[in-house]
A and B are shown apart, each in its own frame.
Chain A
Amino acid sequence: GQNIDQPTEMTATEGAIVQINCTYQTSGFNGLFWYQQHAGEAPTFLSYNVLDGLEEKGRFSSFLSRSKGYSYLLLKELQMKDSASYLCAVMDSNYQLIWGAGTKLIIKP
């Protein structure tokens, strides 16, 4: 079966760095997406990785290792507004998005 695993909840301190991991087992791979979802709102696109390596975009970076079926989202200089759920999604061989359950990130002052 297809499976996306990410931690249910993480807590970090304002100004710090946090890494949210995502491991996947899917039938084929056509890219991995990270989305941010604030409570009560729809997801917003953060990043897309299809090749191995690190993609940096401001305070957020996303890493992919296809051989390990592993990705992480790195958030630097955490701000209170970064408190949200972070969703990992993998596009499989049928170009369908398989969604993780999301990681709720709590930022403390």
Chain B
Amino acid sequence: GAVVSQHPSWVICKSGTSVKIECRSLDFQATTMFWYRQFPKQSLMLMATSNEGSKATYEQGVEKDKFLINHASLTLSTLTVTSAHPEDSSFYICSARSGGIQETQYFGPGTRLLVL
């Protein structure tokens, strides 16, 4: 149980294009989903927290107009990197949590984004 999937696993795109990453909880309903970014050899950095049906809460320094998050259902959240630039190249990881706020976060496999 508690499986989270992400799609795509790899993205290579040109600078200026937009990229959408999907995060799905496959066998549970995720009331809260989290989006992280991880640069090589660095710790996870929380970008935003999204609750189903409401606007995402962004961490300080994360541009909400650049990183659009939609949590339209209890099993799906999307992150769209708009007008991607090479500095946005990173490993993007989502996690999902069911039920109560003390519930464990389960991570998706991550999406590696390379912007040329």
Contact = CB atoms under 8 A, between A and B. Distances in A.
Interface of A: 30-31, 33, 35, 40-45, 48, 50, 87, 91, 95-97, 99-102
Interface in B20-41: none
| Most chain A beta-carbon neighbours within 10 Å: one of B2, B43, B93, B110 | B43
Contacts of B110: 41-42
Interface residues of B, number: 17
Contacts of B58: none
29 contacts: A30-B101, A30-B102, A33-B105, A40-B91, A40-B112, A42-B109, A42-B110, A43-B93, A44-B107, A45-B2, A45-B104, A45-B107, A48-B104, A50-B102, A87-B43, A87-B44, A91-B102, A95-B101, A95-B102, A96-B46, A97-B46, A97-B105, A99-B43, A99-B44, A99-B46, A100-B43, A101-B42, A101-B43, A102-B43
Label chain A's interface by main secondary structure. loop
Contacts of B109: 41-42
A5 to B, nearest CB: 12
Contacts of A91: 102
B107 A43 contact: yes
A67 B104 CA distance: 23
Contacts of B91: 40
Nearest to B100: A95
Interface in B42-61: 42-44, 46
Query: Considering the complex of A and B, which 6 residue pairs feature the smallest CB-CB distances, nearest first?
Result: A95-B101, A42-B107, A42-B110, A101-B43, A42-B93, A43-B107
Interface in B79-116: 91, 93, 101-102, 104-110, 112
